[in-house]
Amino acid sequence: MPIELRLLQYFAVVAEERHVGHAAARLFISQPALSQQIRALEEQVGVPLFVRHPRGMELTEAGEALLLEARQVLASSDRLEAAVEELGRGHTESLRLGLPPGLPPGLLPELLAALRDTEPAARVEVRELTTPEQLAALDDGTLDLGLVREPVEDRQLSRRTLLVEPLGVSLPAAHRLAERSELTLRELAEELFVCFPRAWAPSLHDVLVTELREQGIQARFQDSAHLSTTEGMVAAGLGITLSAPPWLDGASGIVWRPLSDVQIEIRTAAAWRTSNRSPLLKAMVDILPTAAAPANVSESCRSSSSTPPTAP
C-alpha cells in the first residue's frame, strides 16, 4: 500500500524535532493524534522508526533510511506544487542557476543569451553560492544547474567542464614585483595572503597551504569572505591573493601574474542532477559547449593535465 504524503510529512517533522510534542506544535495538531499517525506509519512499514525515550525520540536505522527517501519525495512534492502555482498564474517553468564567486563576468551573459535564443520566454533565477552550497542545493532539488569548482565526487550528478584557468597571484600594481611577467611562491614568502575561508573550498585551500609548506614557506593568512573585501585589501597594499585571472579582473590598482613554480588549475563545470527532467535544464545543457568558452582562457591552460583542486 502506498504511504500517504501526509504521513511522510508528519514523520519528517518528528524526525527533525526528535520530540512528538514539539513536532505537534509545529504541525498544529494534537500530540496524541500525531503519535497515532506515527504508530500507523510504523505498522505500515512493518518496523519501528523511532526509539522512544522519556525526553524525546531517536531514529532507528530503518528510520534514518526512510527519512532520506521521505525528504526526496517531499522535495519533489514541493516542486510540483510550486510548478502548479506558477502555471496557474500563467508563468512558464524557471531555471534555477547557481554561480560561484569569481566567475568571469562575461560567462553568465553568454549562457543566458544562448538560452534566450532557444527559449525566449525562459525565466532564470540566479543565486551566488559556493561549491558546497551548490552541491547541497542540487541534492535537495532547490537548484537545477550549478557552475561548480571541480573536482566533484557525486555519482548522482552529470557534469561538463566549461573553464580551465591557471592559478596565479593578484597583487597591488605598486608592488615591488608587479613589473615581473611571472613570479614564484618563494618570492611571496613574506607576504600576507588574503584568502577565502576554508569552508568555501576545503580542497583548494588545502592545496595552497600544502604547496607553501612543501616549499618551506610558513605563510601568514587572513580570511576574506567577500571578493570586494579581498579586492580592497590587495588594492590598498595590505596583502596579496592567489587566484585565477578573472577573480579580480579589471580591479583598479591590481595586477595578476602567473606562477612559474606551481602548476595548479582551477576547473569550473556545469553540474546537474541526472534525474532532473526539466525542459529548460535540457535546453541549457544543449547549448553549454558553444556558450561557455571566454577568450581569456588560453588553449595552453585547456590542455594542461595537472590535478584540479576545488575552488569557491
Whether the CB-CB separation of 196 and 225 falls below 8 Å is answered with yes
Predicted confidence (pLDDT) per residue in 274-300, tens digit: 988 888 899 999 988 643 444 333 333
- Does residue 41 register a pLDDT over 90? yes
* pLDDT the model gives residue 201: 66
CATH of domain 5-87: 1.10.10.10
Long-range contacts of 125-129 (CB under 8 A, 24+ apart): 125/94, 125/95, 125/96, 125/97, 126/97, 126/98, 126/99, 127/96, 127/97, 127/98, 127/99, 128/98, 128/99, 128/100, 128/101, 129/98, 129/99, 129/100
d(CA 147, CA 166): 17
Q: Tell me if 301 sits within 8 A of 265, measured CB to CB.
A: yes
Quick one: average pLDDT of 85-108? 73
Residues of the chain with CATH 1.10.10.10: 5-87
From-to residues of CATH 3.40.190.10 in the chain: 92-164+266-303, 168-263
Q: For the residues 138-164, what does the mean pLDDT come to?
A: 88
First to last CA, the chain: 45
Average pLDDT, the chain: 82
Helix axes 5-17, 61-88, angle to 10 degrees: 120
* 280 burial via Cβ count (<10 Å: 0-12, 13-18, 19+): buried
Q: Which fold has domain 92-164+266-303?
A: D-Maltodextrin-Binding Protein; domain 2 (3.40.190)
On whether the CB atoms of residues 244 and 200 are closer than 8 A, the answer is: no
CA angle 206, 210, 213 (to 5 degrees): 145
Write the class of the CATH domain 168-263: alpha beta
- The reported pLDDT for the residue numbered 215 is 79
Sheet (strand 254-258) strand order: 241-243, 168-172, 254-258
pLDDT of residue 294: 42
Q: Give the pLDDT confidence score for residue 87 in this predicted structure.
A: 52
